[in-house]
A and B are shown apart, each in its own frame.
Chain A
Amino acid sequence: LGTRAFQMDEEEDLASQLGPRTSQVHDTDVSKLKRAFVNEKCAPEILPFEFDLVQRVVAAVDSRESVVASARASASTGPSSAADDLQTHVFQSELNRVRFLLRAYYRTRLFKIENHAVWTLKEPAVLARLSTLEKEYATNYANVVEEHFGSVLGQMPEGYGSMLQQIEEQDAAWDMVPEPNLDKHVFCLVKQDRGDVMLDPDDPENTMDLERNDIIMIRYRLIKTLLEENAVDLM
Protein backbone atom coordinates (compact mmCIF):
# COMPACT_ATOMS: atom_id res chain seq x y z
CA LEU A 1 0.00 0.00 0.00
CA GLY A 2 2.57 2.57 1.12
CA THR A 3 5.69 2.74 3.20
CA ARG A 4 5.97 4.37 6.61
CA ALA A 5 9.19 6.31 6.16
CA PHE A 6 9.50 7.80 9.61
CA GLN A 7 8.37 6.69 13.08
CA MET A 8 7.66 9.52 15.46
CA ASP A 9 6.72 7.46 18.56
CA GLU A 10 9.97 7.90 20.52
CA GLU A 11 10.18 11.60 19.88
CA GLU A 12 6.56 12.12 20.79
CA ASP A 13 7.13 10.50 24.18
CA LEU A 14 10.01 12.88 24.80
CA ALA A 15 8.04 15.88 23.64
CA SER A 16 5.10 15.07 25.87
CA GLN A 17 7.50 14.86 28.84
CA LEU A 18 8.81 18.32 28.00
CA GLY A 19 5.40 19.92 27.92
CA PRO A 20 2.35 20.34 25.73
CA ARG A 21 2.97 20.06 22.00
CA THR A 22 3.24 23.58 20.58
CA SER A 23 0.74 24.28 17.88
CA GLN A 24 1.98 25.33 14.47
CA VAL A 25 3.30 28.89 14.27
CA HIS A 26 0.55 31.05 12.80
CA ASP A 27 0.12 30.07 9.18
CA THR A 28 1.17 33.03 7.05
CA ASP A 29 0.12 33.53 3.46
CA VAL A 30 3.74 33.09 2.39
CA SER A 31 4.03 29.70 4.06
CA LYS A 32 0.70 28.74 2.49
CA LEU A 33 2.04 29.79 -0.91
CA LYS A 34 5.20 27.79 -0.33
CA ARG A 35 3.12 24.71 0.49
CA ALA A 36 0.91 25.29 -2.54
CA PHE A 37 4.02 25.49 -4.72
CA VAL A 38 5.62 22.36 -3.27
CA ASN A 39 2.37 20.42 -3.62
CA GLU A 40 2.08 21.58 -7.21
CA LYS A 41 5.68 20.58 -7.90
CA CYS A 42 5.23 17.07 -6.51
CA ALA A 43 1.77 16.22 -7.81
CA PRO A 44 1.60 14.56 -11.24
CA GLU A 45 -1.63 16.37 -12.12
CA ILE A 46 -2.58 20.02 -11.87
CA LEU A 47 -4.14 21.05 -8.56
CA PRO A 48 -6.87 23.68 -7.99
CA PHE A 49 -5.62 27.21 -8.53
CA GLU A 50 -5.24 29.06 -5.23
CA PHE A 51 -6.93 32.20 -6.47
CA ASP A 52 -7.60 33.95 -3.15
CA LEU A 53 -4.19 33.13 -1.72
CA VAL A 54 -2.34 34.39 -4.80
CA GLN A 55 -4.43 37.55 -4.88
CA ARG A 56 -3.58 38.32 -1.23
CA VAL A 57 0.12 37.62 -1.75
CA VAL A 58 0.30 39.78 -4.88
CA ALA A 59 -1.39 42.65 -3.03
CA ALA A 60 1.02 42.26 -0.11
CA VAL A 61 4.01 42.19 -2.47
CA ASP A 62 2.85 45.34 -4.25
CA SER A 63 2.37 47.27 -1.03
CA ARG A 64 5.70 46.06 0.41
CA GLU A 65 7.42 47.00 -2.83
CA SER A 66 6.25 50.59 -2.59
CA VAL A 67 7.40 50.73 1.04
CA VAL A 68 10.85 49.53 -0.01
CA ALA A 69 10.98 51.87 -2.99
CA SER A 70 10.17 54.94 -0.91
CA ALA A 71 12.61 53.84 1.79
CA ARG A 72 15.36 53.56 -0.81
CA ALA A 73 14.40 56.90 -2.33
CA SER A 74 14.60 58.72 0.99
CA ALA A 75 17.82 56.89 1.90
CA SER A 76 19.50 58.17 -1.27
CA THR A 77 18.48 61.77 -0.63
CA GLY A 78 18.97 62.08 3.13
CA PRO A 79 20.60 60.28 6.07
CA SER A 80 19.21 56.91 7.14
CA SER A 81 19.86 54.84 10.22
CA ALA A 82 21.59 51.49 10.05
CA ALA A 83 18.42 49.92 11.39
CA ASP A 84 16.39 51.37 8.53
CA ASP A 85 18.91 50.15 5.98
CA LEU A 86 18.87 46.69 7.49
CA GLN A 87 15.10 46.65 7.46
CA THR A 88 15.04 47.66 3.80
CA HIS A 89 17.55 44.94 3.03
CA VAL A 90 15.50 42.33 4.84
CA PHE A 91 12.28 43.47 3.15
CA GLN A 92 14.01 43.28 -0.21
CA SER A 93 15.27 39.75 0.43
CA GLU A 94 11.84 38.65 1.49
CA LEU A 95 10.31 40.25 -1.58
CA ASN A 96 12.73 38.37 -3.81
CA ARG A 97 11.86 35.07 -2.17
CA VAL A 98 8.13 35.62 -2.38
CA ARG A 99 8.37 36.67 -6.00
CA PHE A 100 10.32 33.52 -6.69
CA LEU A 101 7.53 31.47 -5.12
CA LEU A 102 4.90 33.20 -7.23
CA ARG A 103 6.89 32.78 -10.43
CA ALA A 104 7.64 29.14 -9.71
CA TYR A 105 4.00 28.44 -8.83
CA TYR A 106 2.74 29.94 -12.09
CA ARG A 107 5.48 28.23 -14.11
CA THR A 108 4.96 24.75 -12.69
CA ARG A 109 1.27 24.95 -13.53
CA LEU A 110 1.89 26.31 -17.00
CA PHE A 111 4.22 23.43 -17.85
CA LYS A 112 1.68 20.90 -16.61
CA ILE A 113 -0.94 22.53 -18.83
CA GLU A 114 1.42 22.36 -21.81
CA ASN A 115 2.27 18.71 -21.26
CA HIS A 116 -1.36 17.62 -21.14
CA ALA A 117 -3.13 20.44 -22.96
CA VAL A 118 -5.83 18.42 -24.71
CA TRP A 119 -6.50 16.27 -21.64
CA THR A 120 -6.86 19.39 -19.49
CA LEU A 121 -9.33 20.93 -21.91
CA LYS A 122 -11.49 17.87 -22.36
CA GLU A 123 -11.85 16.76 -18.74
CA PRO A 124 -14.27 19.18 -17.02
CA ALA A 125 -13.01 18.26 -13.54
CA VAL A 126 -9.46 19.18 -14.57
CA LEU A 127 -10.42 22.32 -16.49
CA ALA A 128 -12.24 23.57 -13.41
CA ARG A 129 -8.92 23.71 -11.52
CA LEU A 130 -7.45 26.31 -13.89
CA SER A 131 -7.60 30.07 -13.49
CA THR A 132 -9.37 32.02 -16.23
CA LEU A 133 -6.04 33.09 -17.71
CA GLU A 134 -4.79 29.51 -17.62
CA LYS A 135 -7.90 28.28 -19.43
CA GLU A 136 -7.25 30.84 -22.15
CA TYR A 137 -3.62 29.77 -22.29
CA ALA A 138 -4.53 26.08 -22.55
CA THR A 139 -6.92 26.70 -25.45
CA ASN A 140 -4.53 28.90 -27.37
CA TYR A 141 -1.61 26.56 -26.74
CA ALA A 142 -3.56 23.53 -27.99
CA ASN A 143 -4.47 25.44 -31.14
CA VAL A 144 -0.88 26.48 -31.80
CA VAL A 145 0.26 22.88 -31.38
CA GLU A 146 -2.49 21.59 -33.66
CA GLU A 147 -1.43 24.05 -36.33
CA HIS A 148 2.20 22.98 -36.07
CA PHE A 149 1.51 19.24 -36.11
CA GLY A 150 -1.01 19.84 -38.87
CA SER A 151 1.74 21.07 -41.16
CA VAL A 152 3.03 17.48 -41.30
CA LEU A 153 -0.09 15.48 -40.45
CA GLY A 154 -1.96 17.29 -43.19
CA GLN A 155 0.19 15.44 -45.72
CA MET A 156 -0.71 12.03 -44.34
CA PRO A 157 -3.26 9.85 -46.13
CA GLU A 158 -6.92 10.61 -45.66
CA GLY A 159 -8.21 9.66 -42.24
CA TYR A 160 -4.76 9.61 -40.64
CA GLY A 161 -4.36 13.35 -40.20
CA SER A 162 -5.85 13.87 -36.75
CA MET A 163 -3.69 14.50 -33.69
CA LEU A 164 -6.48 13.25 -31.44
CA GLN A 165 -7.32 9.93 -33.05
CA GLN A 166 -4.99 7.46 -34.71
CA ILE A 167 -7.54 6.87 -37.43
CA GLU A 168 -10.47 9.23 -37.76
CA GLU A 169 -13.64 7.51 -36.69
CA GLN A 170 -16.86 9.17 -35.74
CA ASP A 171 -18.09 8.35 -32.26
CA ALA A 172 -14.79 6.68 -31.37
CA ALA A 173 -12.69 7.70 -28.38
CA TRP A 174 -9.76 10.05 -28.78
CA ASP A 175 -6.97 7.55 -28.34
CA MET A 176 -4.03 9.91 -28.78
CA VAL A 177 -4.50 12.15 -25.75
CA PRO A 178 -1.77 11.71 -23.11
CA GLU A 179 -2.86 11.98 -19.49
CA PRO A 180 -0.84 12.49 -16.31
CA ASN A 181 0.33 9.37 -14.48
CA LEU A 182 -1.61 9.33 -11.22
CA ASP A 183 0.15 6.15 -10.10
CA LYS A 184 3.41 7.98 -9.61
CA HIS A 185 4.73 7.60 -6.07
CA VAL A 186 4.88 10.65 -3.83
CA PHE A 187 6.06 11.43 -0.31
CA CYS A 188 3.37 12.83 1.99
CA LEU A 189 3.35 14.56 5.34
CA VAL A 190 0.15 13.74 7.24
CA LYS A 191 -1.34 16.86 8.80
CA GLN A 192 -4.35 15.48 10.62
CA ASP A 193 -4.97 12.45 12.81
CA ARG A 194 -7.14 10.23 10.65
CA GLY A 195 -6.89 6.91 12.37
CA ASP A 196 -7.36 3.77 10.30
CA VAL A 197 -7.91 4.81 6.70
CA MET A 198 -8.89 2.63 3.76
CA LEU A 199 -6.90 4.09 0.90
CA ASP A 200 -7.15 1.55 -1.91
CA PRO A 201 -10.69 0.61 -2.94
CA ASP A 202 -9.23 -2.41 -4.74
CA ASP A 203 -7.73 -3.62 -1.47
CA PRO A 204 -10.24 -2.58 1.20
CA GLU A 205 -8.87 -4.84 3.95
CA ASN A 206 -5.48 -3.12 3.88
CA THR A 207 -5.86 0.05 5.93
CA MET A 208 -3.23 2.47 7.13
CA ASP A 209 -3.15 4.21 10.48
CA LEU A 210 -2.54 7.84 9.64
CA GLU A 211 -1.45 10.13 12.45
CA ARG A 212 -0.39 13.72 12.30
CA ASN A 213 3.32 14.18 11.36
CA ASP A 214 3.59 10.73 9.80
CA ILE A 215 5.51 10.62 6.54
CA ILE A 216 4.46 8.01 4.01
CA MET A 217 5.46 7.12 0.48
CA ILE A 218 2.51 6.05 -1.60
CA ARG A 219 0.94 6.16 -5.05
CA TYR A 220 -0.52 9.61 -5.69
CA ARG A 221 -3.86 8.17 -6.77
CA LEU A 222 -4.48 6.73 -3.31
CA ILE A 223 -3.96 10.00 -1.40
CA LYS A 224 -5.52 12.29 -3.99
CA THR A 225 -8.66 12.76 -1.93
CA LEU A 226 -6.70 13.37 1.27
CA LEU A 227 -4.73 16.06 -0.53
CA GLU A 228 -7.97 17.67 -1.73
CA GLU A 229 -9.18 17.66 1.87
CA ASN A 230 -5.94 19.32 2.97
CA ALA A 231 -5.18 16.37 5.26
CA VAL A 232 -1.75 15.80 3.73
CA ASP A 233 0.97 17.84 2.08
CA LEU A 234 3.33 16.49 -0.56
CA MET A 235 7.05 16.76 -0.05
Chain B
Amino acid sequence: SLFSDEASQSAPARSRGMSNFGVKGASLVTDIAQSEKGTIPPYNDELARAVVDESQEHHRSILRLIGDIQAAGASLDEAKPDDAAAILVHHQAVLRNKRALLVYLNERMRRVRQLRWEVGTGLPEAVGENLSHSERSFFTQYAALVNKYQGRRGGVGLNLTLDPAPPRDHKVQVRVLEEYGEIVTKDGVVDLAKNTVHLMWRDEAQPLIAEGVLEKLDDH
Protein backbone atom coordinates (compact mmCIF):
# COMPACT_ATOMS: atom_id res chain seq x y z
CA SER B 1 0.00 0.00 0.00
CA LEU B 2 1.03 3.58 -0.51
CA PHE B 3 0.78 4.45 3.14
CA SER B 4 2.59 1.77 5.10
CA ASP B 5 1.96 1.21 8.79
CA GLU B 6 5.57 2.00 9.55
CA ALA B 7 5.25 5.50 8.17
CA SER B 8 2.12 6.29 10.14
CA GLN B 9 3.67 5.02 13.37
CA SER B 10 6.65 7.29 12.99
CA ALA B 11 4.47 10.34 12.24
CA PRO B 12 5.32 13.17 14.65
CA ALA B 13 2.83 14.18 17.32
CA ARG B 14 2.78 17.57 15.63
CA SER B 15 0.33 16.18 13.06
CA ARG B 16 -2.45 17.18 15.47
CA GLY B 17 -4.43 14.01 14.80
CA MET B 18 -4.75 14.72 11.06
CA SER B 19 -4.30 11.61 8.96
CA ASN B 20 -1.64 11.48 6.27
CA PHE B 21 -2.51 14.14 3.73
CA GLY B 22 -4.66 12.87 0.89
CA VAL B 23 -5.48 9.46 2.31
CA LYS B 24 -9.16 10.19 2.86
CA GLY B 25 -9.42 11.75 -0.59
CA ALA B 26 -7.81 8.72 -2.19
CA SER B 27 -10.17 6.50 -0.25
CA LEU B 28 -13.16 8.40 -1.60
CA VAL B 29 -11.96 8.02 -5.17
CA THR B 30 -11.30 4.31 -4.61
CA ASP B 31 -14.86 3.96 -3.30
CA ILE B 32 -16.35 4.91 -6.64
CA ALA B 33 -13.56 3.55 -8.82
CA GLN B 34 -13.90 0.04 -7.42
CA SER B 35 -17.68 -0.04 -7.57
CA GLU B 36 -19.33 -2.11 -10.25
CA LYS B 37 -19.88 -0.10 -13.43
CA GLY B 38 -23.51 0.70 -14.03
CA THR B 39 -24.34 0.64 -10.35
CA ILE B 40 -24.40 3.53 -7.90
CA PRO B 41 -23.11 2.61 -4.42
CA PRO B 42 -24.50 4.47 -1.40
CA TYR B 43 -23.30 8.05 -1.14
CA ASN B 44 -20.39 8.04 1.30
CA ASP B 45 -21.50 11.11 3.21
CA GLU B 46 -19.22 10.38 6.18
CA LEU B 47 -16.08 10.20 4.07
CA ALA B 48 -16.96 13.17 1.89
CA ARG B 49 -17.59 15.24 5.00
CA ALA B 50 -14.27 14.08 6.44
CA VAL B 51 -12.42 15.22 3.34
CA VAL B 52 -14.10 18.62 3.53
CA ASP B 53 -13.33 18.92 7.26
CA GLU B 54 -9.71 18.00 6.63
CA SER B 55 -9.56 20.76 4.02
CA GLN B 56 -10.89 23.24 6.54
CA GLU B 57 -8.16 22.15 8.99
CA HIS B 58 -5.52 22.72 6.32
CA HIS B 59 -6.95 26.15 5.70
CA ARG B 60 -6.83 26.98 9.41
CA SER B 61 -3.17 25.93 9.40
CA ILE B 62 -2.53 28.26 6.49
CA LEU B 63 -4.19 31.18 8.26
CA ARG B 64 -2.26 30.43 11.44
CA LEU B 65 1.03 30.34 9.56
CA ILE B 66 0.26 33.61 7.82
CA GLY B 67 -0.77 35.11 11.13
CA ASP B 68 2.50 34.02 12.78
CA ILE B 69 4.55 35.55 9.97
CA GLN B 70 2.71 38.84 10.13
CA ALA B 71 2.82 38.89 13.96
CA ALA B 72 6.61 38.60 13.75
CA GLY B 73 6.49 41.84 11.75
CA ALA B 74 7.45 40.35 8.38
CA SER B 75 5.55 40.53 5.13
CA LEU B 76 4.55 37.37 3.32
CA ASP B 77 7.16 37.97 0.62
CA GLU B 78 9.86 37.98 3.26
CA ALA B 79 8.70 34.74 4.85
CA LYS B 80 11.29 32.07 5.61
CA PRO B 81 11.45 29.20 3.10
CA ASP B 82 10.22 26.74 5.76
CA ASP B 83 7.10 28.77 6.41
CA ALA B 84 6.46 29.36 2.74
CA ALA B 85 6.83 25.64 2.07
CA ALA B 86 4.45 24.78 4.89
CA ILE B 87 1.80 27.12 3.52
CA LEU B 88 2.26 25.69 0.05
CA VAL B 89 1.93 22.09 1.22
CA HIS B 90 -1.31 22.81 3.06
CA HIS B 91 -2.62 24.68 0.01
CA GLN B 92 -1.77 21.80 -2.32
CA ALA B 93 -3.38 19.37 0.12
CA VAL B 94 -6.64 21.29 -0.12
CA LEU B 95 -6.45 21.29 -3.92
CA ARG B 96 -5.85 17.54 -3.87
CA ASN B 97 -8.85 16.99 -1.64
CA LYS B 98 -10.97 19.21 -3.84
CA ARG B 99 -9.96 17.20 -6.86
CA ALA B 100 -10.77 13.91 -5.14
CA LEU B 101 -14.18 15.21 -4.12
CA LEU B 102 -14.94 16.33 -7.65
CA VAL B 103 -13.83 13.00 -9.14
CA TYR B 104 -16.20 11.27 -6.73
CA LEU B 105 -19.11 13.60 -7.43
CA ASN B 106 -18.51 13.72 -11.17
CA GLU B 107 -18.40 9.96 -11.69
CA ARG B 108 -21.55 9.46 -9.63
CA MET B 109 -23.24 12.26 -11.52
CA ARG B 110 -22.35 10.56 -14.79
CA ARG B 111 -24.05 7.38 -13.60
CA VAL B 112 -27.09 9.30 -12.39
CA ARG B 113 -27.40 10.88 -15.84
CA GLN B 114 -27.30 7.45 -17.42
CA LEU B 115 -30.31 6.47 -15.33
CA ARG B 116 -32.48 8.95 -17.17
CA TRP B 117 -31.56 7.36 -20.49
CA GLU B 118 -31.89 3.77 -19.37
CA VAL B 119 -34.75 3.83 -16.92
CA GLY B 120 -36.71 7.01 -17.62
CA THR B 121 -38.00 9.73 -15.35
CA GLY B 122 -39.06 7.43 -12.54
CA LEU B 123 -36.17 6.91 -10.14
CA PRO B 124 -36.30 3.36 -8.76
CA GLU B 125 -36.50 3.40 -4.98
CA ALA B 126 -33.54 1.07 -4.57
CA VAL B 127 -31.33 3.47 -6.50
CA GLY B 128 -32.78 6.60 -4.93
CA GLU B 129 -31.79 5.37 -1.49
CA ASN B 130 -28.15 5.34 -2.52
CA LEU B 131 -28.14 8.93 -3.74
CA SER B 132 -27.44 12.01 -1.68
CA HIS B 133 -30.16 14.65 -1.40
CA SER B 134 -28.33 16.83 -3.90
CA GLU B 135 -27.98 13.93 -6.33
CA ARG B 136 -31.69 13.19 -6.20
CA SER B 137 -32.35 16.83 -6.88
CA PHE B 138 -29.85 16.74 -9.75
CA PHE B 139 -31.63 13.74 -11.25
CA THR B 140 -34.99 15.51 -11.17
CA GLN B 141 -33.59 18.65 -12.75
CA TYR B 142 -31.59 16.73 -15.36
CA ALA B 143 -34.58 14.58 -16.26
CA ALA B 144 -36.61 17.75 -16.76
CA LEU B 145 -33.91 19.22 -19.00
CA VAL B 146 -33.93 16.14 -21.22
CA ASN B 147 -37.74 16.14 -21.30
CA LYS B 148 -37.76 19.75 -22.42
CA TYR B 149 -35.16 19.16 -25.11
CA GLN B 150 -37.01 16.21 -26.62
CA GLY B 151 -40.49 17.63 -26.16
CA ARG B 152 -42.72 18.95 -28.90
CA ARG B 153 -43.01 22.45 -27.48
CA GLY B 154 -39.64 24.14 -27.12
CA GLY B 155 -37.80 20.95 -28.11
CA VAL B 156 -36.92 18.75 -31.04
CA GLY B 157 -40.13 16.73 -30.84
CA LEU B 158 -38.50 13.30 -30.86
CA ASN B 159 -38.12 10.78 -28.04
CA LEU B 160 -34.35 10.47 -27.86
CA THR B 161 -34.30 7.58 -25.42
CA LEU B 162 -35.68 5.22 -28.07
CA ASP B 163 -33.50 3.30 -30.51
CA PRO B 164 -30.29 2.97 -28.53
CA ALA B 165 -29.29 0.57 -31.34
CA PRO B 166 -30.20 0.67 -35.05
CA PRO B 167 -33.60 -0.94 -35.60
CA ARG B 168 -34.01 -4.24 -37.40
CA ASP B 169 -37.68 -5.14 -37.31
CA HIS B 170 -40.50 -2.77 -36.71
CA LYS B 171 -42.54 -5.19 -34.69
CA VAL B 172 -41.21 -7.19 -31.77
CA GLN B 173 -42.47 -10.21 -29.94
CA VAL B 174 -42.66 -9.57 -26.24
CA ARG B 175 -43.71 -11.48 -23.16
CA VAL B 176 -45.34 -9.68 -20.27
CA LEU B 177 -43.31 -10.07 -17.08
CA GLU B 178 -45.42 -7.97 -14.76
CA GLU B 179 -49.18 -7.58 -14.84
CA TYR B 180 -49.72 -4.20 -16.50
CA GLY B 181 -53.35 -4.11 -17.51
CA GLU B 182 -54.75 -2.73 -20.75
CA ILE B 183 -52.88 -0.23 -22.87
CA VAL B 184 -53.90 1.61 -26.03
CA THR B 185 -51.58 1.02 -28.96
CA LYS B 186 -51.57 1.93 -32.66
CA ASP B 187 -53.23 -1.43 -33.32
CA GLY B 188 -55.90 -0.96 -30.69
CA VAL B 189 -56.25 -2.03 -27.09
CA VAL B 190 -53.82 -4.67 -25.83
CA ASP B 191 -54.27 -6.47 -22.53
CA LEU B 192 -50.86 -6.95 -20.93
CA ALA B 193 -51.73 -9.85 -18.66
CA LYS B 194 -48.83 -11.60 -17.02
CA ASN B 195 -47.05 -14.19 -19.16
CA THR B 196 -48.97 -13.38 -22.33
CA VAL B 197 -47.07 -12.94 -25.58
CA HIS B 198 -47.79 -10.07 -27.97
CA LEU B 199 -46.54 -8.73 -31.27
CA MET B 200 -46.13 -5.02 -30.69
CA TRP B 201 -44.69 -2.01 -32.47
CA ARG B 202 -41.06 -1.55 -31.46
CA ASP B 203 -41.37 2.06 -30.36
CA GLU B 204 -44.35 1.27 -28.17
CA ALA B 205 -42.73 -1.79 -26.63
CA GLN B 206 -39.31 -0.27 -26.05
CA PRO B 207 -40.12 1.93 -23.02
CA LEU B 208 -41.92 -0.96 -21.37
CA ILE B 209 -38.99 -3.26 -22.07
CA ALA B 210 -36.67 -0.71 -20.47
CA GLU B 211 -38.92 -0.53 -17.43
CA GLY B 212 -38.89 -4.30 -17.08
CA VAL B 213 -42.61 -4.79 -17.73
CA LEU B 214 -42.02 -6.61 -21.00
CA GLU B 215 -39.35 -9.02 -22.12
CA LYS B 216 -38.22 -9.07 -25.75
CA LEU B 217 -38.33 -12.53 -27.24
CA ASP B 218 -35.54 -13.14 -29.71
CA ASP B 219 -36.65 -14.72 -32.95
CA HIS B 220 -34.61 -17.75 -33.95
Binding site for B on A (CB under 8 A): 58, 92-93, 96-97, 99-100, 102-104, 106-107, 110, 114, 133, 137, 140-141, 144-145, 147-149, 151-153, 155-158, 160, 163, 166-167
Q: Mark B127-166, 1 if CB is under 8 A from A, else 0.
A: 0000011110110011001001110001111111011001
B7 to chain A, nearest CB (A): 26
Q: Contact at B98–A153, with CB atoms within 8 Å?
A: yes
Chain B residue at smallest Cβ distance from A157? B59
Q: Are B145 and A137 in contact (CB under 8 A)?
A: yes
Complex: A187 Cα to B149 Cα, angstroms: 31
**B170 interface hit (Cβ, 8 Å):** yes
If the complex has contacts A141-B145, A144-B141, A156-B52, are A103 and B98 also in contact, measured as CB distance less than 8 A?
no
Known interface pairs A96-B170, A97-B166, A156-B94; A148-B135 also in contact (CB < 8 Å): yes
The listed residue (B102, B137, B162, B166) touching A149 by CB distance below 8 A is B102
The answer to whether A155 and B52 touch (CB under 8 A), given A96-B202, A100-B167, A148-B105, is yes
Q: Give the most central of B94, B98, B102: most A CB within 10 Å.
A: B98
With A160-B98, A167-B95 as contacts: A99 and B158 at CB distance below 8 Å: yes
Proximity string of chain B (97-129) to chain A, C-beta cutoff 8 Å, 1 when within and 0 when not:
010011001000100010000000000000000
- Which chain A residue lies CB-closest to B95? A166
Contact (Cβ within 8 A) B156 A163:
no
| A–B pairs, 29, beta carbons within 8 Å | A96-B202, A99-B163, A100-B166, A100-B167, A102-B158, A106-B150, A106-B156, A106-B158, A107-B160, A133-B154, A133-B155, A133-B156, A141-B145, A144-B145, A145-B138, A147-B134, A147-B138, A147-B141, A148-B109, A148-B135, A152-B48, A152-B105, A156-B52, A156-B56, A156-B98, A156-B101, A157-B58, A160-B98, A167-B95
A149 and B145 CA atoms in complex are apart in Å by: 17
Contact B158 A144 (CB under 8 A): no
The secondary structure that dominates the B interface is helix
Kindly provide the distance from the CB of B169 to the nearest chain A CB, expressed in whole angstroms. Answer: 8
Contact between A144 and B105 (Cβ–Cβ < 8 Å)?
no
Contacts of B55 in A (CB 8 A): 156-157, 160
Return chain A residues, CB-CB under 8 Å to B109. 145, 148
Residues of A within 8 A of B160 (CB): 103, 106-107, 110
- A173–B166 Cα distance when bound, in Å, is 43
Residue of B nearest to A101 (CB): B166
Q: Which residues of B contact A (CB under 8 A)?
A: 48, 52, 55-56, 58-59, 91, 94-95, 98, 101-102, 105, 109, 113, 132-135, 137-138, 141-142, 145, 148-150, 154-160, 162-163, 166-167, 170, 202-203
Within 8 Å CB of B203, what residues of A?
Answer: 96
9 closest cross-chain pairs (CB), A and B: A157-B59, A151-B134, A148-B138, A100-B163, A96-B167, A144-B141, A155-B52, A103-B163, A92-B170
User: Given A147-B137, A147-B138, A153-B98, list of 18 further CB < 8 A pairs?
Assistant: A93-B167, A96-B170, A99-B163, A103-B163, A137-B149, A144-B145, A145-B109, A145-B138, A148-B138, A151-B134, A152-B52, A152-B134, A156-B56, A156-B94, A157-B59, A160-B55, A163-B102, A167-B91
Q: Are B98 and A166 in contact (CB under 8 A)?
A: yes
CB neighbours of A92 from chain B (8 A): 170
CB-based contact A103/B158 at 8 Å: yes
